[in-house]
Amino acid sequence: MEKVAVNLVYIADHSKSKADDPVGRSKTSHINTGFIAQNVYLYAASQDLGCVVRGYMDKETLVAKLDLKENQEIIVAQSVGVINK
């Protein structure tokens, strides 16, 4: 993953949500992340780029490096780059 052109990290900031319950906030964040990731997939395909969504990553390290707050949650990461053929 270090060699791809772009690594996107999708983060939900629950403090900005208008949903009253934590489950609603979480569902909305995950659904919206899916919409965004799909758009990135579509763009990557149109440009003949490779693309993958990753749920497994060192979240503790990312939280520290990105200086995330308690109300911010990493949802997934998405990598985009040139396909070696």
Which CATH number covers residue 41?
Answer: 3.40.109.10
Range of the domain at 14: 6-82
The strands making up 6-13's β-sheet, listed across from edge to edge, are 6-13, 72-82, 49-54
Please provide residue 73's backbone torsions phi and psi, each rounded to the nearest 5 degrees. -125, 130
Q: Does the residue 61 lie in any domain?
A: yes
How does residue 2 score in pLDDT terms, banded at 50, 70 and 90?
low
Q: Which pTM was predicted?
A: 0.85
The larger pLDDT score, comparing residue 19 to residue 13, is at: 13
Q: Look at the chain and report how many structural domains it folds into.
A: 1
pLDDT beyond 80 at 29:
yes
pLDDT beyond 60 at 19:
yes
pLDDT beyond 70 at 66:
yes
Q: Does the residue 31 lie in any domain?
A: yes
Q: Does the residue 1 lie in any domain?
A: no
Give the separation between CA 54 and CA 76, rounded to whole angstroms.
6
Q: Does the residue 58 lie in any domain?
A: yes
Q: Supply 43's token pair.
A: 């763009």
- Predicted local confidence at residue 1, as pLDDT: 55
Average pLDDT of the chain to the nearest whole number: 89
